[in-house]
Structure 1
Amino acid sequence: MDEQRPTWLRVPAPEELPEAVHELWAPSLEKLGFVPNVLRNYALRPSHLLAWNAWYEEAMKGDSGLTKAEREMIAVVVSVANECAYCIAAHSAALRKLTKDAALSDEVAADHRRAAVPERMVAALDYAVKLTLRPTEMTEDDVEALRRAGWTDEDVMDIAEVTGLFNMSNRMASGLGWAPNPEYEALGR
């Protein structure tokens, strides 16, 4: 892919976009100094972007027994399992920023089972990887393993939902050639 192109599709010019999209972009510009390509690329369908973002915000930042960092760990392992370059870069950066621990983010991406995370989180990440790679093999025993690790049923639902969100997002990114912003490499380092 040409490094100047953030996707294989047309990226709408900012002046083509409704005010709601500009409002969505504003916090990224303020906090990061750039608009993530996911938001620029998804803006080809503004109503889809706004709906996806509402789901993303609720799943990743809404009320949950999982911390934001734990949800980012799920995003990272799912993206690694799917070999999604965009989401690996973006969510490894987000995990680095949240934890202020670049080594942990790299460990989770390289092999979550060897990363410095509690066993309870290893169980959640194992579940997310299995659901990603072998969804037809999921059984009630997989949920029971999460309960034994200390997760509530609400937590298990959140783990499954974040896993599903990133499987969908990975498919969009990989299927449409979304390139990660180069700025992600330095974030949180």
Structure 2
Amino acid sequence: MAGIFKKVYDWLLRLFWATEMDVTMIGLQNAGKTSLLRVLAGGEFTLDSIPTVGYNMKRVQKGHVTLKCWDLGGQPRFRTMWERYCRGVNAIVFIVDSADRDALPVAKDELHLLLDKPILEGIPLLVLGNKSDIEAKLSVDEIIEALDLKSISHREVSCYGISAKEETNLDAVLQWLVAKAHK
């Protein structure tokens, strides 16, 4: 009988206290944005992810918070769309391939170019170094330095190492995002 009460309680929570928040996931191509979103939404990790053309959206349920996640293409021709999809969101999630050192200077430039837009001021930023399961990965401190995250002001900035493949640290990511829903 306790199971029924819990289901009714959860339903009432969602009905009266549900929160929906918008999150934009950006980063260079092949960083693992789509794979991460698929895993967060309860799907399976696959190695043969097709590059995102334009964008796609998935809803991720965590307790009484629904995260509406926009996954934007990372190829150069789609980066001009990033600003439009970052306006008014609760959080920006910037994903880098922590094993691709050569891509980090471009990732840094693209991130800072985006964050310099006045309309995006104050939106919290979560930087994720994906592919932490690969031995040649950069540490979180190395990512913070490579992307010059300490120079970013006028917003909260956090950085985690994750693995979409191994599902490492994804609970911390969801907790961080859900906390932004309550601000």
Identify which of structures 1 and 2 has the higher relative contact order when contacts are C-alpha pairs closer than 8 Å and 6+ apart: 1
Using structure 1 for the length normalisation, give the TM-score.
Answer: 0.30
Whose strand fraction is larger, Structure 1's or Structure 2's? 2
Whose helix fraction is larger, Structure 1's or Structure 2's? 1
